[in-house]
Every structure is written in structure tokens, then in C-alpha cells.
A and B are shown apart, each in its own frame.
Chain A
Amino acid sequence: MGTPSVLWNVAKKCFTVGVISLTVSDLFSSIVPVRGASMSPTFNPKTNSLLESLSDDRVLVEKLCLSNYKFSHGDVIVFCSPDNHKEKHIKRIVGLPGDWVGTIYDVVHIPEGHCWVEGDNLASSLDSRSFGPVPLGLVKGRVTHILWPPNRVSSVERKTSRNRVSPS
């Protein structure tokens, strides 16, 4: 008599919480762990291969920017890898549509609807220097704050390098 309705109530509550938190995490903001050292020293300044998942930085990713896809130079974004849609990368926007970006070998023009991303740790970062400009439709959010570890809680600032990018 009591148990089926109790189970049903618990299931309904779990369903409600699940659906609402999925919507909030998709439309407003979510918390994401940062893997790898390609954004040192901004994220994961010390790579510790033994305790990887415990000491990784956790960052707050906001999704409100996806309503109009208007980003600025120096924004740190989360995007799906163009080579493997199941992987997500975190890098900094260095070039916006119409910009000319200088790499070692040549100068690249960023086409309409794309952006040029680079990691802060250029020595160990797989970014637009390897896979080219990234379509803005692959962007899944913008990183605004570091939430973990507690001694490095702060907002993530825009960092631009004027000497390599010439705006349109």
C-alpha cells in the first residue's frame, strides 16, 4: 500500500530535479573540469599526473553568450573539437571573423562565422595552429570563473596580444 506510491513520489522528484537541472546547465551555466596543461598558468598551473582528477581546476561556463554568438578577443571558450565531436576543448579566442592572424609560417584570414583559438601555454596546446579556424557554431560556452581549487577562486580575465592579430 505505502511502498509503490513512495517509490513513485521519489521517482517523480528525481525526474523533476533532473529535468530542471539539465535545462539550467544547458541554458545558463554549468561547472566543467579542465583537463590538461594547454591553458597553463591560467588553469592547471601544476600538472600532477598522479592525482589528476582531484586537483584539476573546475570552472564556471556560462551559456547565455550562445544566444547571439558575440565574443570578444581574449574570451576563454569551450568548444567541440572539429576532428572529434565528442571531445570538448577549452582555449582562448585570439581572432574573430575578418581578422588576420599571424602564425609562424604565414598570415591567416579568419573567414565569416569562424574564430581562431589558442591555448595560453603555446608549447603544449593543440589549437587553431593545428586544426585551423573553428566554426563559431561549435562553441558551447564561455568560461567566466574558476571555482576550484579554493585558493585560486577568481574571475577569468580577457587577455589579448596585440602584436599578432590585426582586426578587420
Chain B
Amino acid sequence: MGEWSSRVIPIVRGLCLLYVTHKYLGTTVVTYGPSMLPTLGITGNVLLMERISTRTGKLRPGDVVFFRSPENPRRVVCKRLVGMEGDQVTYVVDPKNSDKCNTIVVPKGHVWVEGDNIYNTKDSRNFGAVPYGLVEGKAFWTLLPRRDFGSLAPKPK
């Protein structure tokens, strides 16, 4: 009994440690989709995500964040943080059809996110401000593709 447990417990401890690191410190994420062009390509991006900034409230506009989609809780979405609570955000409502802009104040406890590729993205302009509780983490390093290795580019002008 003692021998069996002395072999199993380190394995269980190792797996639990992996889970705790994944859930509370950070993890690698594979992204796909055109909504963050040119910062992230359509496929083949592997990013490092950290969860410490979300827990300590150190997110700033301009960060690339991951959050659970308000329309599908099983999907994690990657967009750029544009406004924190209380910020005034001006955005183009429908870039493909008109130049009409709208200005809103981000409600308490929420954040405003937008994709870098405003012509092909579903973001806060579609589903509204996102509650901060849905934010999972912040992307801080690109692993792949090799030419983008390093920290992420700031928002394109």
C-alpha cells in the first residue's frame, strides 16, 4: 500500500500542478481566423497567454486578450482590448457600408474589445461590451510563426 501510494502521489501531484499552472499562471494557445489580421495570421499562430494580469487588474487598452465568447461559452475568442470600464470608445459601426461612427461609455465591470481587421470581425460592435469575468488572459509572446517570434505588435493605425 505504501509503495503504491508513493508512486501514484507524485504523478497526481504533477498533473494537478500542470492544471494549476494552466488555470492560474498561463498556457500556450493556438489561434485561427481572420479577425486579427495583420497582427495574427489566419492559421498557424501559437501564442503564450498569461493569466496574472487579468487577476491583478493590470490589463490596459492595446493588450491582446482572450475571453469566453458571450454568444458561446465553450469558445475562447482572441481580440484586442480597446476600452476599460468608464472609457469613452468611438467606433465605426459598419465599416463595409458606411463611415457612421458611434460613441459609447464602457459600463462598469465590462471591457470593449475589437478585432484588428475591422472588415471581418465579430467583436464588441456586434455583441456589446464584454463582462470582465469572461476575460481569460492576455497574450504576451508569439511562439509561431518564427518570423513573428517575440512580443505582439501594437494596434495598427
Q: Is B73 a contact partner of A85 (Cβ separation < 8 A)?
A: no
Query: Counting CB contacts under 8 A, is B13 at the interface?
Result: yes
In the assembled complex, B72 has its CB within 8 A of some CB on chain A: yes
Interface residues on B, range: 20 to 34
Contact, CB under 8 Å: A85 / B133: yes
Assess whether A135 is in contact with B68, with CB atoms less than 8 Å apart: yes
Contact with B along A52-87 (1 / 0, CB 8 A): 000000000000000011000000000011111100
A-B contact count (CB 8 A): 66
Q: Are A135 and B9 in contact (CB under 8 A)?
A: no
Residues of B within 8 A of A20 (CB): 12-13, 16
Interface SS of chain A: helix, strand, loop or mixed? mixed
Closest A residue, CB atoms, query B135: A85
Most central of B71, B131, B134 by chain A CB within 10 Å: B131
- Supposing A19-B13, A135-B134 touch, asked if A84 and B19 sit within 8 A by C-beta, the answer is no
Other contacts beyond A23-B19, A69-B73: 8, CB < 8 A: A19-B13, A19-B20, A85-B109, A112-B71, A113-B70, A113-B72, A135-B134, A138-B134
Supply 20 A–B pairs (Cβ within 8 Å), ascending by A. A15-B13, A16-B9, A19-B13, A20-B12, A22-B16, A26-B19, A26-B23, A69-B74, A81-B109, A81-B133, A82-B110, A82-B133, A83-B131, A85-B133, A112-B71, A113-B70, A113-B72, A114-B70, A135-B73, A137-B73
The residues of A with any CB-CB pair to B shorter than 8 Å are 15-16, 19-20, 22-23, 26-27, 68-69, 80-85, 111-114, 135-139
